[in-house]
Structure 1
Amino acid sequence: GYVSCDDNNSNKFTFHYYVKDHLGNNRAVVNESGAIEQSTHYYPFGNSFADAGKNPSIQQYKYNGKELDRMHGLDWYDYGARSYDPVLLQWNGVDQLCEDY
């Protein structure tokens, strides 16, 4: 999960917890009391079709627990060595270890 600080009171912190499914997808974010703050549903290959909550874009770790990189409006998932485009269902480059296998 993550911790957020109240804008009006720097001494007040709120703890947020991820609720994952069996594939490691972050399906929901709940607060300390268990109230759902954000819920996300995915198509089979990672594109989200229902992102509900107070501020659904604040939590960036989504499909497979990977960060959704919204830079330049591409909305690709960052897998470290490569990025994955859930709309086109493809990676942005060739696997660097492909020659080894």
Structure 2
Amino acid sequence: MSKKDFLGGLSSLIRDEDKPKVGRPKTSTRKINKSSQEGTKENETRATFVMKEDTVDKIKAIAYWERKMIKEVVEESFYEFIEKYEQENGKIKPIPNK
């Protein structure tokens, strides 16, 4: 049985070596006003909606067949709905602050 050689000792395991950073670079730093903005791109926020299962399944199928992300399909449908709503009812007023 051969002996293992631990020349570096414990300090070689602990020391901080200058290794190149791996992974994608951080995106721009921005001020986050809401926790729902954490981990999202600029001008995006995270939202959760409760929907019928068959509607979600259809949205997922559209995204699959169109080779798009689910959020892209949902965003496009929201934009179309908003455009139609504004044509019929005029510009949407923002919700007043409390």
Q: TM-score range by the shorter chain?
A: under 0.3
Q: Which has the larger radius of gyration?
A: 2
Structure with more of its chain in strand, by fraction? 1
Normalised by the length of structure 2, the TM-score is 0.26
Normalised by the length of structure 1, the TM-score is 0.25
Structure with more of its chain in helix, by fraction? 2
